[in-house]
């Protein structure tokens, strides 16, 4: 039983790892060449495998992009949930998350942002992008009941928006928290 299972699992694990590897390569390409640079071939080259193999795991480009976006959205969701479940200052938690996007994780955040921007054009990506936003909205709802304020907070938490607002300056979580708080109290 255990042997039988672990054998099957062994293959599955390999497949999962390949998928993860391909998704990683995809994000690297997005980061380097933009979302428009993502093709079966560029991703394969980046991953050091053949284009056919990316097709074996992701039949179409949409599949690949959805997987990549889902991957980053899931990671983001997990962090959001940690913030929601904690007893700390939730607004400060969000501010820290944003600060990271504008600081050390800036490049990665821009790549993520490119993907979610692409969602506006690729219908297949929309559900994932929506889910992403919903998660932030849920966090916002722990702070206020004002729908407008929630939307503002979601908008402010937008990675690119934050990156633009912050520019290359030091991202001070405390300062960011003030900004978010102001946004909430405006309504």
- 121 is in the binding site of which of DNA, a copy of itself, none (Cβ under 5 to 8 A by kind)? a copy of itself
Angle at 38 between CA 128 and CA 134, to 5 degrees: 15
- The distance of closest approach from Cβ of residue 29 to DNA in the complex, given in angstroms and rounded to an integer, is 10
Q: Which residue has the tokens 């560029």?
A: 42
User: Which tokens belong to 78?
Assistant: 């997990």
Terminal CA-CA length for the chain = 61
Contact 43, 26 (CB under 8 A): yes
Q: Where are the alpha helices (DSSP H) in 40-89?
A: 40-47, 51-57, 61-85
Binder of a copy of itself out of 169, 172, 174, 185 (CB under 8 A): 169
Binder of a copy of itself out of 60, 86, 142, 182 (CB under 8 A): 182
- 61 is in the binding site of which of a copy of itself, DNA, none (Cβ under 5 to 8 A by kind)? DNA
Residues near 131 by beta carbon (within 8 Å), at least 6 away in sequence: 73, 77
Residue among 73, 55, 97, 81 at smallest CA distance from 142: 81
- The distance of closest approach from Cβ of residue 106 to a copy of itself in the complex, given in angstroms and rounded to an integer, is 13
Q: Per CB under 7 A, which of residues 32..91 are in contact with DNA?
A: 38-42, 49-53, 55-56, 59-61
Binding segment toward a copy of itself, per CB under 8 A, in 18-26, 31-39, 85-93, 123-131 = 31-39
**Cα(8)–Cα(23) distance, rounded to whole angstroms?**
23
Residue among 184, 128, 123 at smallest CA distance from 156: 184
- The distance of closest approach from Cβ of residue 77 to a copy of itself in the complex, given in angstroms and rounded to an integer, is 20
Binder of a copy of itself out of 39, 158, 173, 181 (CB under 8 A): 158
| Site residues for DNA per CB under 7 A | 3-4, 7-8, 10-12, 14-15, 18, 38-42, 49-53, 55-56, 59-61
By the criterion CB under 8 A, which residues form the site for a copy of itself? 33-34, 36, 117, 120-121, 148, 151-152, 155-156, 158, 160-161, 164-165, 167, 169, 182
């Amino acid at each position: 039983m255990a042997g039988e299972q672990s054998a099957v699992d062994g293959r599955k694990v390999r497949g999962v790892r390949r998928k993860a590897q391909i998704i990683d390569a995809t994000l690297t390409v997005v980061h380097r060449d933009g979302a428009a640079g993502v093709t079966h071939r560029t991703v394969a080259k980046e991953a050091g495998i053949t284009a056919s193999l990316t097709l074996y795991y992701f039949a179409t480009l949409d599949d690949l992009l959805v997987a990549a976006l889902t991957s980053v959205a899931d990671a983001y969701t997990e962090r959001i949930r940690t913030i929601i479940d904690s007893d700390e200052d939730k607004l400060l938690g969000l501010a820290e998350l944003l600060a990271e996007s504008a600081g050390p994780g800036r490049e990665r955040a821009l790549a993520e942002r490119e993907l979610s921007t692409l969602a506006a054009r690729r219908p297949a990506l929309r559900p994932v992008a929506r889910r992403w936003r919903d998660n932030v909205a849920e966090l916002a709802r722990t702070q206020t009941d004002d729908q407008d304020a929630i939307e503002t907070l979601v908008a402010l938490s937008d990675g690119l928006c934050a990156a633009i607002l912050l520019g290359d300056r030091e991202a001070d979580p405390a300062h960011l928290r003030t900004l978010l708080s102001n946004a909430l109290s405006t309504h």
